[in-house]
Chain A
Amino acid sequence: MKLLEYEAKGVFSDYGIPIPKGFVIREPEEITAHLQEVGDAVVLKAEVDVGGRGKAGGVLMVDSASAVEKARELFSREIRGVPVREILVEERLEIEHEYYLSIAIDRSSKQPVVLFGDTGGVEIERAAKEEESAIRRALVSPLLREVPAFLMRELLAGAPADIAPVINNLYRIFQEKDAMLAEINPLVTTPAGVYAADAKLIIDDNALARQGIEVNRDLSEREREAERHGFSYVELDGTIGVIGNGAGLTMSTIDLIDYYRGRAANFLDVGGGADQERVMHAVRLVASLPSVKVILVNLLGGITRCDEVARGIITAGVDVPVIVRMAGTNEEQGRRLLAEHGYRMVDSMEAAVRVALEVGE
């Protein structure tokens, strides 16, 4: 789950990474009470989870006299379609230089990778493309609690030495907060020292519970409902509802629909050992999507009991047609049950997709 900038900055501050003075407002008038804390030159930042926020007009440089008025203006705007509910008000830093710093997971070497660049800010992607050495990489063993000094020297090269503690503190955050990505772009030097001018922190969805995060805000309401049933669920923009077991098979089913020029309405992986109740919930959830014209169920595996699946589909009792492909234990019983209730069972995945496309027309 992605944290908002001010939440990430709160974490950074707890770990001793200097952040600009600032506060969060939910109403424009709230600015006045705290304005003296940040001084005359102020930055207003819309706290919305979208990329390219600055270019989309989500960051405003203002002076204290016009701050309330500009904040009101920002609250009334949408940044790439996302309404602004919170604004981070910050002091404007006297920036000497911008650097890039991030820590991510390197899948290939199976360990954290620290990335440091002498050019930061919005130019980072262009700089990285033009010159490969613009960003230096250091792989750090997950068994270590800090970046070894020799790797630190390689990362910093000529950059100021007071960046080293920022890197180590960010590395501690990365490990202790179960981060998938921790990024400071830009990391800036000012006459008063080093600051994290921006902050990005993505927490591992599999570690939310132990991080004390109860609700995954990245999920829509329907996605959360799916999660409560133990499903993996993604909404797409087509008309064919898809239910599968296993992420790969479900993805493959959607691809096959795409191959035959259809469009899937969703991705729903019911997970292992689909029983009657889970199948029923899955079918009802997908049927509740207004765009769905037909539901395609594709279940495969040794432990899936086809009679249970059939009962789940029958008890769901939805109005949209359901096309079923399943293979596993008690296949014949499942087929008979479905046939008795007027549902169609198809033998192969490919044939099932074609039938679903015909029915959905």
Chain B
Amino acid sequence: MIYGDRNLGVIVQNITGRQGRFHTELMNAYAREVGWRGIVAGVAPGKAGMEVDGVPVYNTVKDALAEHDATASVIFVPAPAAGDAIMEAAYAGIELAVVITEHIPVHDTMKAIAYAKLHDCTVIGPNCPGLLSPGECKLGIMPAHLATRGEVGVVSRSGTLTYEVVDELSRAGIGQSTVVGIGGDPVIGQTFVDALARFEEDPHTKAVVVIGEVGGNLEEEGVRSTDLPVVAYIAGVSAPPEKRMGHAGAIIEGGEGDARSKVRRLSEVGVPVAARPSEIPGLVLELL
């Protein structure tokens, strides 16, 4: 697994919001199921002294870390304040920030990621479902019941499409080491390059499924950077140019980043590319 194991102590920023509260409960249920430490504290300005699902709430990340041993944070802070929340976490000593929030202005994201880097804080997201290492830990909103423990890594720009692929893998008897959603925004903290480098260092990961989509060329860059066997799938082969396909980053601009040329370039470097999600397990089995 990558990014953390069952010893990982995690806080939730904006734990008192609807999403934060709901997913804290789900993450803690998973913690009890697999013996992970889970969510040890929550942050919500002005709400110190409250409890959410038995988790104590603090005004600031700094206050939470003074009382609890945690190195990761899951951020559910609304978009206008989310960039600041990332910087607060990094400044207070959080080493891994998983940013679920969608619609953060891209300039806020760029600044927060650059600032986090100065404080040696790794950012996953924004606009992502987080990560799930079956049997170890779950940071974010992925449905845990679809995943099974195993040796295939999954890295994706999507949320629900990732669940679809994980479900297909599990049904085919292919377990996962870690499933990580890196986010659908044009600027994201961990790119395919970064996530694949982590998978390469992980002795439990034997192959990786890369799930990309229209926009940018980070899939190709990632695949070229790794020695691990990779199977790819690219969503949006039928997407029209200059239209944003749901994700802020999913847009074919100036004739660049269309899915068909991505598929072609990935195939050129020898990566099997599935035409449909249902083809992924078969291609993975050929690699293992």
- Kindly supply a per-residue 1/0 record for chain A positions 18-40, scoring 1 wherever the CB is within 8 Å of any chain B CB and 0 otherwise: 00000000000000000000000
Shortest C-beta distance, B241 to chain A (Å), equals 11
Interface residues on B, range: 35 or more
Q: Is B4 an interface residue (CB 8 A)?
A: no
* Interchain CA distance A251-B214 in the complex, whole Å: 9
Residues of chain A within 8 A (CB-CB) of B197 are: none
* Interchain CA distance A269-B221 in the complex, whole Å: 28
Q: Is A248 an interface residue (CB 8 A)?
A: yes
- A234 touching B243, Cβ below 8 Å: yes
Residues of chain A within 8 A (CB-CB) of B104 are: 206
- B213 touching A248, Cβ below 8 Å: yes
Interface centre among A112, A255, A267, A328 (most CB of B within 10 A): A255
- B278 touching A142, Cβ below 8 Å: no
- B114 touching A141, Cβ below 8 Å: yes
Residues of chain B within 8 A (CB-CB) of A245 are: 160
Q: Is A207 an interface residue (CB 8 A)?
A: yes
Interface centre among A256, A257, A259, A350 (most CB of B within 10 A): A256
On whether A300 and B187 interact (CB within 8 A), knowing A111-B110, A204-B107, A248-B157, the answer reads: no
* Interchain CA distance A105-B159 in the complex, whole Å: 24
Shortest C-beta distance, B240 to chain A (Å), equals 7
Residues of chain A within 8 A (CB-CB) of B146 are: 302
- B244 touching A252, Cβ below 8 Å: no
How many A-B pairs have beta carbons closer than 8 Å: the answer is 161
- A110 touching B246, Cβ below 8 Å: no
Q: Is A250 an interface residue (CB 8 A)?
A: yes
Residues of chain A within 8 A (CB-CB) of B103 are: 206
Residues of chain A within 8 A (CB-CB) of B187 are: 105, 107, 110
On whether A175 and B107 interact (CB within 8 A), knowing A248-B157, A248-B184, A349-B277, the answer reads: yes
* Interchain CA distance A288-B248 in the complex, whole Å: 26
Residues of chain B within 8 A (CB-CB) of A348 are: 278
**In chain A, what residue has the closest Cβ to B238?**
A258
- B159 touching A248, Cβ below 8 Å: yes
- A142 touching B164, Cβ below 8 Å: no
Interface residues on A, range: 35 or more
Q: Is A178 an interface residue (CB 8 A)?
A: yes
Shortest C-beta distance, A312 to chain B (Å), equals 17
* Interchain CA distance A2-B95 in the complex, whole Å: 37
Shortest C-beta distance, B268 to chain A (Å), equals 19
- B191 touching A108, Cβ below 8 Å: yes
Query: Which residues 155-178 of B have a CB within 8 angstroms of A?
Result: 156-164, 167
Residues of chain B within 8 A (CB-CB) of A248 are: 156-162, 184, 211, 213, 235, 246-247
Closest 8 pairs between A and B when the two form their complex, measured CB to CB:
A248-B158, A247-B246, A302-B143, A246-B160, A248-B161, A232-B246, A142-B110, A207-B105
Q: A110-B188, A244-B160 are in contact. List 9 more A-B contacts (CB 8 A).
A: A107-B216, A143-B114, A178-B107, A204-B107, A247-B245, A248-B161, A248-B246, A255-B276, A302-B26
29 A–B pairs (Cβ distance < 8 Å), ordered by A: A107-B186, A107-B218, A107-B249, A110-B187, A110-B189, A111-B114, A112-B110, A206-B248, A210-B80, A234-B240, A234-B243, A236-B238, A244-B160, A247-B158, A247-B184, A247-B247, A248-B157, A248-B213, A248-B246, A251-B161, A269-B246, A272-B141, A300-B160, A301-B159, A301-B163, A302-B142, A328-B143, A349-B164, A350-B278
